[in-house]
């Protein structure tokens, strides 16, 4: 299978980068093809342009500025996201990736009569998310209601693909973990990816 691995962290020495490297290594060791899209490293512009917004409901919408990235998504059998959660949400660059790349005609089709949207990413069979939070698990899950998981699973995954294998693994309380905890988490990441 072919996987698009999307990294959304500005620091190349970050733990997120270590997770992305572990994902890429494990996939390649198991014979999968991997395309690593480092959003910061490739200077991805997360801003939806005036032209993109004006043509958003056109058929087709104008995605010409990001067509090379769209082609990478459409060539993949699976999508793996690696990112920190900031303010219980995606980093802005990852939100911009969804805004610009998961466009009408690419990730979904509009019902022109105003009904339900129809999934268009039939090629994506696996959507995995590896993330970290600075908050303890109980704040994320009990107090906040696990918003990132809900957005990914009930929003993006459900609206853009059918019969999708969705999984998410989060390391909570990131700012207070030990090196041993980080190493253990990387092993959990590798084990999860090995199942693909």
Question: Which tens digit of pLDDT belongs to each residue from 116-132?
Answer: 889 999 999 999 999 99
What region, left, alpha or beta, does residue 31 occupy, with left being phi > 0 and alpha being psi -120 to 50 degrees? left
pLDDT band at 110 (very low <50, low <70, confident <90, very high): confident
pLDDT of residue 144: 87
Over range 23-49, report the average pLDDT: 98
Packed helices 15-29 and 179-194: angle between N→C axes, nearest 10 degrees: 30
pLDDT of residue 61: 87
pLDDT of residue 140: 85
pLDDT of residue 13: 96
Which two tokens mark 40?
Answer: 């910061």
pLDDT greater than 80 at residue 115: no
Residue 119, CA distances (Å) to 31, 52, 62, 96, 122 in order: 28, 20, 19, 19, 7
Q: Give the number of domains in the chain.
A: 1
pLDDT band at 17 (very low <50, low <70, confident <90, very high): very high
More confident residue, 4 or 58: 4
pTM over 0.85: yes
Helices in the chain by DSSP H: which ranges?
15-29, 50-54, 67-74, 92-101, 137-138, 147-150, 158-160, 179-194
- Domain CATH number, residue 91: 3.40.50.360
Contact of 135 with 126, CB cutoff 8 Å: no
Residue 100, CA distances (Å) to 13, 55, 116, 193 in order: 27, 12, 20, 27
Packed helices 67-74 and 92-101: angle between N→C axes, nearest 10 degrees: 80
pLDDT greater than 90 at residue 113: no
pLDDT in tens, 138-194: 988 888 889 999 999 999 999 999 899 999 999 999 989 999 999 999 999 999 999
pLDDT in tens, 52-97: 999 988 878 899 999 999 999 999 999 999 999 999 999 999 999 9
pLDDT of residue 49: 95
- Residue 159: how many other CB atoms lie within 10 Å: 16
**Structural domain containing residue 144:** 2-194
Q: Which of 66, 190, 83 has its CA nearest to residue 132?
A: 83
């Amino acid at each position: 299978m072919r996987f698009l691995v999307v990294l959304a962290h500005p620091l190349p020495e970050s733990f997120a980068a270590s997770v992305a490297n572990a994902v890429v290594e494990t996939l390649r060791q198991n014979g999968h093809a991997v395309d690593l899209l480092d959003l910061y490293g490739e200077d991805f512009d997360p801003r939806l342009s005036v032209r993109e917004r004006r043509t958003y409901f056109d058929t087709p919408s104008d995605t010409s500025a990001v067509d090379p990235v769209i082609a990478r998504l459409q060539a993949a059998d699976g999508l793996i996201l690696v990112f920190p959660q900031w303010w219980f949400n995606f980093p802005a660059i990852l939100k911009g990736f969804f805004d610009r790349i998961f466009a009408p005609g690419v990730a979904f089709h509009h019902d022109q009569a105003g009904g339900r949207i129809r999934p268009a990413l039939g090629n994506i069979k696996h959507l995995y998310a590896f993330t970290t939070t600075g908050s303890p698990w109980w704040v994320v899950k009990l107090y906040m209601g696990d918003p990132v998981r809900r957005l990914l699973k009930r929003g993006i995954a459900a609206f853009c693909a059918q019969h999708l294998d969705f999984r998410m693994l989060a390391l909570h309380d990131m700012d207070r973990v030990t090196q041993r905890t980080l190493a253990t988490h990387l092993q959990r990441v590798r084990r999860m990816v090995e199942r693909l």
